[in-house]
Structure 1
Amino acid sequence: MKKTLTRWAADIWYKDHFLGVWLSLFGFLFSDAVKFRRFLYRLGVLKSYTLPVPVIVVGNITVGGTGKTPLVIWLARFLKDSGFNPGIISRGYGGQAQSWPQPVTADSDANQVGDEALLIATQTGCPMAVGPLRVEAAKMLLSQADCNVILSDDGLQHYALNRTIEIAVIDGERRFGNGHCLPAGPLREPIERLQRVDFVIVNGEKYEDHEFSMQLVGQTLVNVVTGEQKPLPEFNAVECHALAGIGNPERFFKQLEVAGLICATHSFPDHYSFQRHDIDFGDNKPVLMTEKDAVKCTEFAGLQHWYLPVKAVPDTVFSEQLLNLLKRKV
């Protein structure tokens, strides 16, 4: 049911603009509610908390994946290389822990802390905490680790936490869909919200002069069970299955297609909780997935299961401007 609703919504937001127009009244109501909530924070009716260290929020204004997680991983490594001690917070979406906040390490359970959080902690080695209340997650982090800057994975709309720098990530292919707010379109906030962020990063080719481009690069498949690595082109001569439970599965499928692979594709909702039968297609064909999906399949994957790690490669001008801005605000 969730898979069907997700596809139906995506069709309205990115393809059937006519039906989106009919729903636009609800989008205007949602937009007004969002603006009023932000206004209450500016008045101080709703309280915001300021941490004793700078906070960099990486988020988006649309529903679904835009490439935030690879960018957060890149940012954490970049900040460490620049002499900072970053800590990372996130909501822990999909996690089913009984209490929050929760610390996250490479040994954490994705079912408890969320797939993206586990991937980030594993890839960066940075101290990390997750919880619906990001202020509490940040406080836990600062009490347990020597962090002098906090990275917030998502949370652009989480105004209870004041931020030093805001980075918005855009899907370069789908952009803003029909341009309407939820439920008529994919927007969490009106497009003009981007005028107030410090940086706009486009996952793909940029459209506007003020935007910075970012590419997701990955050419080596890794076996989920053994860790064996093979170049992507080695799979060109065989038929494969490709599955993805991410915000925009078509991006992953297209990446495989461009590399010359022939795949039967299987889409799942973002943050889908995979079971053994979801990744078993009754044959011995290779099954390719994203790294985010792989962290949830390690316990029941077989030798035919492979994942494709990707890394973010943002515009070098962005890294220079970010570092200069952060140093001015520290």
Structure 2
Amino acid sequence: MTERQATIWQKRLGPVLAPVGWTYSQIMAARSHAYRRGFFSRWRAPKPVISAGNISWGGTGKTPICSFILSWAEEKSLRPALLTRGYGGRTGALPLLVDPTCPAGECGDEPLVLAREHPDSLVVVDPVRSRAGQWALARHEPDFFVLDDGFQHLAMVRDLDLVLLAGDDLGPGWNRVQPRGTWREGVSALDRATAFLVNVTGSEQGPVIEASRARLGNTGKPVFLFRLSIQGLENLADGRISPGPEGRYWLVTAVARPQRVAGAVREAFGRSPERHVILPDHAVLNASTIDSIRGEAGRDGVSELVCTSKDAVKIEHGREAFRVLRTETIFQSLDDGPEFRAWLDKWWERI
């Protein structure tokens, strides 16, 4: 089911789904309360912990934010350990320390992206983050931990709780808990956040900024805007960098919010792809899938296929046809707030 199809059926069944969503939000609120009151055990690591997570399901930019935090740490000569569930992976031995040569089908696409971009950092896959953290401490002694998709993972205490939101979360999707919408918890869960990061990639920034002020401006917590700025394309076969497609191109995505990628691509290259091939999030890109896409593109006279880095790590066959989006995460403060990197620096000095 595509993002658009999900939205359509949620709208049509809204009156039926709303009570179910409210009930689910109450269950999640009770769960959070139980953790706060000590009814469930929580592990406090002897090192600082930064969580980067969502209030909604996927597609808010956690992987780029985690990548930014790892880069920030490396600039300070720190060695972080990123703890992640590893969606899309099927490893048997846990915890799994992700090696840059690990098959994406074993460790998951997003962990592999981070391991390749940050070979000096630790990327550990395990649904039980506390177990992964204790394992990393015993063997590698990291300076701090990063919890990927950690907002709902309450079994591990965190020192910094970064909550990522998209424009939809602040607009029509506000406080619409699944299955009525995409939120995992009700709006009261945002009280746990230390700061908010709003992804404005591929959307009109004006309305998102106004919605950020209206929804988050009175929380007393820092609000940062960020976007993924496309810097060019990398040839997946030989690593050559180009500013954009040489001719007509197709966009191939297997991500949570494909329309955001399409908007960013259109903005960066000044033209839309001839076709956008939308696959399910974390979809396997095996030889038959690649051959099918390349065959259809060839019949359309298209030889360049553009994809994200998350998809690129899964492509072993037909790499010469693919161009990978190279992006940079650009931050912007809401109104007169601090710059995100400076804010993170000050937090680290205090911790």
TM-score normalised by length of structure 2: 0.85
**Is residue 128 of structure 2 the alignment partner of residue 128 of structure 1?**
no
Count of equivalent residues: 319
Whichever residue aligns with residue 183 of structure 2, its letter is: L
Structure 1: which 5+ residue stretches go unaligned?
Answer: none
Local SS of the residue matching 1:270: coil
Please tell me whether the aligned partners of residues 56 and 169 of structure 2 are also in contact (alpha carbons under 8 angstroms).
no
Determine which of 124, 131, 141 is the counterpart of 2:136.
141
Structure 2: which 5+ residue stretches go unaligned?
Answer: 333-337
Local SS of the residue matching 1:44: coil
Please tell me whether the aligned partners of residues 90 and 106 of structure 2 are also in contact (alpha carbons under 8 angstroms).
yes
Whichever residue aligns with residue 278 of structure 1, its letter is: T
1:281 aligned residue: 294
Deviation at residue 174 of structure 1 after TM alignment: 5.3
**Is residue 306 of structure 2 the alignment partner of residue 306 of structure 1?**
no
2:8 aligned residue: 11
**Is residue 172 of structure 2 the alignment partner of residue 172 of structure 1?**
no
**Is residue 262 of structure 2 the alignment partner of residue 266 of structure 1?**
no
1:198 aligned residue: 194
Q: Cα gap change, 1:262/1:322 in structure 2, threshold over 3 Å: closer, same or farther?
A: closer
Whichever residue aligns with residue 33 of structure 2, its letter is: F
Q: How does 1:65-104 map to 2 (within 5 A)?
A: 65-104=59-98
Determine which of 210, 228, 240 is the counterpart of 1:228.
240
Q: Cα gap change, 1:31/1:140 in structure 2, threshold over 3 Å: closer, same or farther?
A: same
2:37 aligned residue: 43
Please tell me whether the aligned partners of residues 129 and 140 of structure 1 are also in contact (alpha carbons under 8 angstroms).
no
Please tell me whether the aligned partners of residues 74 and 311 of structure 1 are also in contact (alpha carbons under 8 angstroms).
no
Please tell me whether the aligned partners of residues 79 and 122 of structure 2 are also in contact (alpha carbons under 8 angstroms).
no
Whichever residue aligns with residue 220 of structure 1, its letter is: G
Please tell me whether the aligned partners of residues 52 and 146 of structure 2 are also in contact (alpha carbons under 8 angstroms).
yes
Deviation at residue 7 of structure 1 after TM alignment: 4.7
**Is residue 107 of structure 2 the alignment partner of residue 107 of structure 1?**
no
Deviation at residue 128 of structure 1 after TM alignment: 1.5
Deviation at residue 83 of structure 1 after TM alignment: 4.2
**Structure 2 CA distance, aligned partners of 1:309 and 1:140?**
33
Please tell me whether the aligned partners of residues 177 and 186 of structure 1 are also in contact (alpha carbons under 8 angstroms).
no
Deviation at residue 43 of structure 1 after TM alignment: 2.1
1:253 aligned residue: 262
Q: Cα gap change, 1:63/1:12 in structure 2, threshold over 3 Å: closer, same or farther?
A: farther
**Structure 1 CA distance, aligned partners of 2:15 and 2:73?**
43
1:324 aligned residue: 346
**Structure 2 CA distance, aligned partners of 1:11 and 1:308?**
30
TM-score normalised by length of structure 1: 0.91
**Structure 2 CA distance, aligned partners of 1:10 and 1:105?**
37
Deviation at residue 269 of structure 1 after TM alignment: 1.5
Determine which of 249, 272, 278 is the counterpart of 1:240.
249
Determine which of 122, 147, 150 is the counterpart of 1:152.
147
Identity of aligned residues (%): 27
What is the RMSD computed on CA atoms of the aligned residues? 1.9
Please tell me whether the aligned partners of residues 104 and 129 of structure 1 are also in contact (alpha carbons under 8 angstroms).
yes
Local SS of the residue matching 1:218: strand
Local SS of the residue matching 2:347: helix
**Structure 2 CA distance, aligned partners of 1:139 and 1:277?**
40
**Structure 2 CA distance, aligned partners of 1:101 and 1:19?**
41
2:335 aligned residue: none
